[in-house]
Amino acid sequence: MATIDLQSAKRIGVVSTVVDAAFAFARGRKKSGLVLLGAAALSSRVPGLGAVVSLFLRVVRWVR
């Protein structure tokens, strides 16, 4: 069984945030896509930031 080190976890977080941004752009949510791309760029330095931003945007959309 393969183990996931910190570097791999960071890479997975960045990739998943970029994919989430691509879906936001595809749905016509340009601002959300840009925020997610910014979070993906910062996720390499702040682990988990992309997930937090993604969840925050989902909650904001749900509250509206």
pLDDT in tens, 8-62: 778 888 899 999 999 999 999 999 999 999 999 998 888 888 889 999 999 999 9
What is the pLDDT, as a whole number, of residue 1?
A: 58
| Distance in angstroms (rounded) separating the CA atoms of residues 39 and 42 | 5
Q: Chain-centre distance of CA 40, in angstroms? A: 5
47: left (phi over 0), alpha (psi -120 to 50) or beta: beta
Report pTM: 0.84
| Distance in angstroms (rounded) separating the CA atoms of residues 38 and 16 | 13
